A and B are shown apart, each in its own frame.
Chain A
Amino acid sequence: MIFEAKLIGFKEGIKICLVWLVLYSYLLSKERKELIKPFYAGLALSAAAAFLSLLLPAGLISKDDAGNIISMSFAAFLILSGAALYHASGVNLFFGKGDVRSGASAGILVISGSLLFFLPDFAGSVLYLQGLAILKDDLLMTWASACAGLLIAGIVFFSFMKFYKPYRLGSFFGLPQLFLFLSMAKLFGGGIKGISELSLIPSVQRGFMKFIHDFIHQTFVLLLVPDHPILKKTAWDFIGIFFGAGFASAVSLLLLLSLPALFIRHSLFYPLPEPQGDTNASRRRIWALMLSDRRKKALPVMVFMVFIVAAWFSYGGEAVSKIYKPQPRPLAADGGIVRIPVKDPAGDIMDGRLHKFSLFHEGEVIRIMAVRRSDDSVSVCLDACEICPPDGYGQRDDHLVCVYCGTPIAVDSVGEPGGCNPIPLSADVGERFITIEMSEILKKWSFVNSVKTSEGVK
């Protein structure tokens, strides 16, 4: 048995079981039990589509793409939960049109929801398992292990349900809570790899960081010219705080908690409607029911908040810390040509890690870096972008990270020009050497924003 494959199967199985349990309990409490059938249909379609995706030409969808799509479907469910909450607080988002209670439209919504939920995860897992099968050179064993994992999850769940049927769970979930639960299931079980990526938190955090960074960057780049007097050392020190990983991490945590906080506010403090009733006692009874319903529905949300904070500090902290920063190896130009050996005792460019080199030119140190992309091509760039001070890049997993602003850049996209990307160099990648014209390096280095570094204005 291949442990990793078994784990993936187990994880997907548990996810299916939990989602089924919450959804079924929810439908029971809403007396819409019949809608579990479209859920099964959506589940089956997702599984079928995931396996069909194996027939697509290799490389059309990468594991990275799948990861991104999972993150996006997480965001979609998070947004849906916010919308449902908004709807529940009295604003009719359907503008009076479309009756979701009618069988057909509700069924279609459930099928598409299940597809949106399961397809990215299944596709990601299938993709990963296939990669694993190639790596282990044992197709049958990989899939058998995955199925075994799935089976174990099913058995664990069914034996639990045999003794204890917690369908009362349904009273803790309204539609907004249901969507929130689905997004949380994604957040904590959305990764496509095995145990090392049980949580989406690192990628969510990277996504938020990129968003914050881009937003602030664009604002400052648009509003301020680089030699503006405001860009003195102190000002940049201050602005630098906003680019820092710590800040981005805190803000993304706040963003992720803000929606649940809104739920809690709505549950506990939103004014209750004046109940209709002939006696004080009957009005009081209705009030009490409404209040207890609200409190019940705040409970899972509070649990999610605790989970988010806990997971954030266990996964998030890790995501920010482990950055690999190689020492630049010195190079020299020979006749206007710079030659980097592809493989020598000091390092192997093709090992997938970031490699840095330094050139001395007219009293200035120019840094170059090279990294292998997943399609085995090599990208050669300056260790700097056009925007940030040239503090250079580090590597975290399959991303490069700007040391100055923390922006993550997927290794596979390194070599694309512009913005926060490292400035690409046109280079000739041969069997034994990578050759670059010195004039190309000098031309590109002049774009580098050398006015300032994080240490201050030069």
Chain B
Amino acid sequence: MPLITVNSIIKEYETAHALRGVSMEVKKGEWVNIMGASGSGKSTLLNIIGGLDSATSGDVIIDSVNIEKLSEDELAVFRREKIGIIFQQAHLIPYLTAVENVMIAQYFHSMADESEAKEALQRVGLGQRLSHRPSQLSGGEQQRICIARALINSPELLLADEPTGNLDRENTKMILELLKKLHSEDHFTIVLVTHDHFVSTHGDRILTMEDGHIIRDEPVNDLRS
């Protein structure tokens, strides 16, 4: 039973066809990278899987639930319980400290728990930066807060849209190592969108998109060889 099943998704905008019939499956615990040229529809697909956007037609089934059929409220609950998201931009609240930014996510899920939030930041290597504000932290450090925040409610699915897009190689490596460690410990599923070939060598599988279609689906190891 796959965790994610996407069935002939079409997404049309007035001016563009972002997705022209996309189908795919992601197994539980798998790490799938989505690559492709700019404008090929990667973010659109990711947003639809995450319930942030809805498809013009087609089904998205996550953990046996067809999220295209959920009401706005049910979808909010579903996202809160099952999905963690990180973007290229950190989207941290500037006037809150690192711990408080994580606690906000706990609060909207259930209730804040400071010691658990601190522990989560220690896990991503920010034990010394707990009470810093985002502006006092580097891009890599900010992205690590985002990872702690996205994973604090133990989601089954982590969606990442260009998580290392604005980081240098050193920081990119560090973020990927961190994701690898957390993924191997907590066994959540990752769908990651990237331009970067180096990034896509991490994980299990690569989907390549072009003009609203998936044109290739290959395991990571094959590509390396």
**Chain B interface residue count: which class?**
under 10
Is residue B217 contacting chain A, with contact meaning CB distance below 8 A?
no
The complex places the Cα of A281 from the Cα of B107 at a distance, in Å, of 11
Task: Give B112-169 interface residues, CB cut-off 8 Å to A.
Answer: 113, 116, 152-154
**Using an 8 Å CB-CB cutoff, how does the interface string of A285-300 with B read, 1 for contact, 0 for none?**
1011101000000000
A281 touches B111 (CB 8 A): no
Which residue on chain A has the smallest CB distance to residue B120? A280
Is residue B189 contacting chain A, with contact meaning CB distance below 8 A?
no
The complex places the Cα of A288 from the Cα of B109 at a distance, in Å, of 9
Contact pick for B116, options A280, A289, A291, CB 8 Å: A280
Is residue A284 contacting chain B, with contact meaning CB distance below 8 A?
yes
Among A279, A281, A289, A291, chain B packs the most CB atoms within 10 A around the CB of A281
Shortest distance between the CB of B77 and any CB in chain A (Å): 11
Is residue B200 contacting chain A, with contact meaning CB distance below 8 A?
no
CB-CB under 8 A from A287, the residues of chain B are 110-111
Shortest distance between the CB of A166 and any CB in chain B (Å): 19
Task: Give B88-113 interface residues, CB cut-off 8 Å to A.
Answer: 106, 109-111, 113
Among A279, A288, A291, chain B packs the most CB atoms within 10 A around the CB of A288
Contact pick for B154, options A282, A288, A289, A291, CB 8 Å: A282
The complex places the Cα of A256 from the Cα of B194 at a distance, in Å, of 67
CB-CB under 8 A from B111, the residues of chain A are 284, 287-288, 291
Which residue on chain B has the smallest CB distance to residue A291? B111
Shortest distance between the CB of A293 and any CB in chain B (Å): 13
Which residue on chain A has the smallest CB distance to residue B151? A281
The complex places the Cα of A288 from the Cα of B110 at a distance, in Å, of 5
A280 touches B113 (CB 8 A): yes
The complex places the Cα of A289 from the Cα of B153 at a distance, in Å, of 15
The complex places the Cα of A230 from the Cα of B113 at a distance, in Å, of 60
Task: Give A310-367 interface residues, CB cut-off 8 Å to B.
Answer: none
Task: Give B42-60 interface residues, CB cut-off 8 Å to A.
Answer: none
CB-CB under 8 A from A288, the residues of chain B are 110-111
Task: Give A262-287 interface residues, CB cut-off 8 Å to B.
Answer: 279-282, 284-285, 287
Task: Give B63-89 interface residues, CB cut-off 8 Å to A.
Answer: none
Among B106, B109, B110, B116, chain A packs the most CB atoms within 10 A around the CB of B110
Shortest distance between the CB of B188 and any CB in chain A (Å): 11
Contact pick for B106, options A279, A284, A289, CB 8 Å: A284
A–B Cβ pairs within 8 angstroms, 12 of them: A280-B113, A280-B154, A281-B106, A281-B109, A281-B154, A282-B154, A284-B110, A284-B111, A284-B113, A288-B111, A289-B110, A291-B111
Residues on B close to A: CB < 8 A? 106, 109-111, 113, 116, 152-154
**Contacts A281-B153, A284-B109 given; 15 further ones with Cβ under 8 A?**
A280-B116, A281-B106, A281-B152, A281-B154, A282-B154, A284-B113, A284-B116, A284-B153, A285-B109, A285-B110, A287-B110, A287-B111, A288-B111, A289-B110, A291-B111
**Pairs of residues from A and B, 4 with the lowest C-beta to C-beta distance, nearest first:** A288-B110, A279-B154, A281-B154, A281-B153
